[in-house]
Amino acid sequence: MKKNFSIRKKIMTVFAVSIIILLIAVSAILGSRIKKKSEKQFDENMMLDMKLIEHNINSFFDNAINTVKMLSTHPDVRSADITFNKYFNKTSVSDVTTIEKSPVEQKIYDLFLKVDQAYPEFVCVFMGVKCGGYTSTCDKSLSGGYDPRKRPWYIDATASMGKAIITNAYPSSIGDVVVSISHSVLSFENKHIGNVSIEITLKTLTDMLSSLKIGKTGYVMMVQDDNTILADPKHNDFNFKKLEEVSVKDFNKFTDVTSGKLTLDMDNQKYIANIYMIEKLNWKLIAFMSAEEVYEEYYESLKLLIITGAVLLLLFLTFTYFISYHITKPIRLAVSSLKNISEGDGDLTSRLPVRGNDETRDLALYFNRTIEKIGGSIKNVLKNTHNMGFVGETLSTNMYETAGAINQIQATIKGVKNHVLNQSSSVTETSASIDEFINKVKQINDTINNQSVTINDLLKVIEESKQTNDTTKSVMKNNNALIDELVKEASEGKDVIQASNVKVQKITEESGSLLEATSIIQNIASQTNLLAMNAAIEAAHAGDSGKGFAVVADEIRKLAEESSTQGKVITKVLKGLRTEIETVSSSSKNIEDKFTAIYTKVNGVEKMSEEIIKTVEIRNAQIKQLLSLVDTVNSIGTKIINGSDEMLTGGEKMSVEMQKLMDISKIITDSMNEMTSGVIQINNAVQEVNELSQQNKESISDLSNEVNKFKV
């Protein structure tokens, strides 16, 4: 059973929740203001401390800078020359403080020594000159090869001509953190001759930061511009390490931050850090304070608000308890009376006292009227209970008889339904057979249509073949005409070549006669030459009388030699000509043979062409017969298609009629199913009404018993 949550508890809960919400809102508003005030106070205090530290650091470095400027302008320092001791060409360790010095270097050394002793924070005063010379107040064991010109302090001071420079801090040989302040030195002719530098310990600053207390947990850390920690009073092992190298991982947050406030985890506590830049040195001052201390006032105020709220809540709940008890008293009386009616003897004659002038008086008044009205209703129910019992008994008897009649109707409808289902099954099978017959007829029809299309395609192919044959026959006839002309031309060419061969043969024979004539001419020239020689001999024998004859004989000899020479040339030319003629004769013979072969082959082609024409004519006759047969097959196919179309139309009509019959059978079946379903529903309803009538009879009896329990 669900536990009751009384009105008194609800009133107290509402008051408690309202007070708690109010206290939370007040605490949140006041707490937020106190928290902001704490943060503002922390920022202001830190800013004052930071400015004080910055002032002290600036004063510290201003003193050193002024001192190094004073030294750079001192007459003794400006008189530095090449007489300084040089160590870059030495290999052994040297004591710069005791080594023998030139008068100029000694004066400068004495000046540096006085300055060094005057300021406790100065670790060393030293100077390097352009020639590589060096003097110092602290180097008692200077390594060989030392060249001041290659040192960062010298290079930076030279680059910042006329301005003091401050190097990054570094650990010295005495264990302190130091920095160097350097300044260029000019001669009396304003020429750069070297640089003077002072090495200063930061111990004074680190001691100052270590002794500085900010609240209970606050302290200040100093970091130079390359993120090297110069002083961390809380973690001495962090000194001279990079921010990213220490064990506190949140220190990485400070690497790129130059001002503002950050929250970090350190030593298992939350800390708030304020970052402040020293502009002159470009160093960071980072002030830390635990978040617990920063918000201490906020936490105390919050605790006080919670205690005050708890006390107020307790007082309000006590007051609310008594008020709610007085308000709910009439309600408790009404509940007690109703409980007696529901769980006791059902006394409807009890009444609540009506007093007061608030809602509780109205509650008692209307409660009494309601109980009085319920009592009257119960009396009427008692009077009508007997009549309801008689009606329920009659209704139960009638419903039992109705249920029997409904069961008989249901059995009859079930038998009719079985007959209708058998008829519907037969109609369905017949319809399926007709559909299958129609599908077969459609397949035959499609096959015949495809065959008709194929025959038409075949007719087109045959027609195209016939046209091709006619074209071939025409082409072959044209070819025969061309071949006849070719035979005629070949025959004429053959005759021309034969006549040409006869003429070439005659030329060959006549060239032989010319060769014989030239041979005779050469013989005549030889005989003439011989006669000329004999005549010359005879003329020689004749003496002076034969000189004229000798001249004639000499001319005849020359003529004979010339004739012999020309005869040889003619013979040579005729022999070459005869060779060419024989070559032409041989070529003409070959041409004659080729023309004879061409003539023979052309005659063969003519005969083959005539055979092809005969074959084409035979094929044309066969194509005509094939066309006649295909027309006959196409006509038969058309008749089959017409018959199959008629069968298909009749089958489709049968299918439509069978479908109508199936639809009618389905309607009858559905109607029988609906009748069966309706009878079942009626039967169920009658059974349910029968059961309800029995339950009504029992309920009337129970109602009579229950009503009799009330006291009216």
For 427-464, b/e burial (b = at least 16 CB within 10 A) is beeebeebbebbeebeebbeebeeebeebeeebeebee
Cβ count near 607 (within 10 Å): 10
At 427, the pLDDT band (50, 70, 90 cuts) reads low
Nearest Cα to Cα of residue 24 among 231, 256, 296, 310: 310
- Give the integer Cα–Cα distance in Å for 594 and 605: 16
At 702, phi and psi to the nearest 5? -65, -40
Cα 235 to chain centroid, rounded: 50
- Give the integer Cα–Cα distance in Å for 494 and 49: 139
- Give the integer Cα–Cα distance in Å for 54 and 45: 14
pLDDT tens digits, 478-487? 777 777 776 6
Cβ count near 57 (within 10 Å): 21
- Give the integer Cα–Cα distance in Å for 210 and 180: 22
* Contact predicate 196/72, CB 8 Å: yes
Nearby residues of 704 by Cβ (< 8 Å), 6 or more positions away? 382, 385, 386, 389
**Percent of the chain's residues with pLDDT above 90:** 17
Query: Is the pLDDT score of 710 beyond 60?
Result: no
* Contact predicate 656/386, CB 8 Å: no
At 178, phi and psi to the nearest 5? -130, 160
pLDDT tens digits, 317-354? 788 777 777 777 777 677 776 666 666 666 666 677 77
At 93, phi and psi to the nearest 5? -80, 140
At 568, the pLDDT band (50, 70, 90 cuts) reads confident
Show the domains of the chain with their CATH numbers. Answer: 73-296 (3.30.450.20), 395-700 (1.10.287.950)
Helix (H) or strand (E) holding 297: helix 296-343
**Edge-to-edge strands, sheet with 269-278:** 229-231, 219-223, 283-290, 269-278, 260-266
pLDDT tens digits, 497-525? 677 767 767 776 776 676 676 777 777 77
- Give the integer Cα–Cα distance in Å for 352 and 332: 11
At 155, the pLDDT band (50, 70, 90 cuts) reads very high
pTM, entire model = 0.42
Single-letter residue type at 444: I
Helix (H) or strand (E) holding 135: strand 134-136
- Give the integer Cα–Cα distance in Å for 528 and 547: 19
Tokens of 413: 């409808």
- Specify burial of residue 36 (Cβ count, 10 A radius: 0-12, 13-18, 19+): exposed
Tokens of 70: 């004073």
Cβ count near 326 (within 10 Å): 10
pLDDT tens digits, 236-255? 888 888 989 898 988 988 88
Return the residue matching tokens 């005057």: 118
Question: Could you tell me which residues are beta bridge partners of residue 219?
Answer: 288
Dihedral-angle region of residue 262 (phi above 0 means left; psi in -120 to 50 means alpha; beta otherwise): beta
CA triple 336-341-347, angle to 5 deg = 115
pLDDT tens digits, 534-560? 777 777 777 777 667 677 777 777 777
pLDDT tens digits, 360-405? 677 777 777 787 777 677 666 666 666 666 666 665 676 666 666 6
Tokens of 213: 């207390």
Helix (H) or strand (E) holding 568: helix 547-707
pLDDT at residue 602 in the model:
66
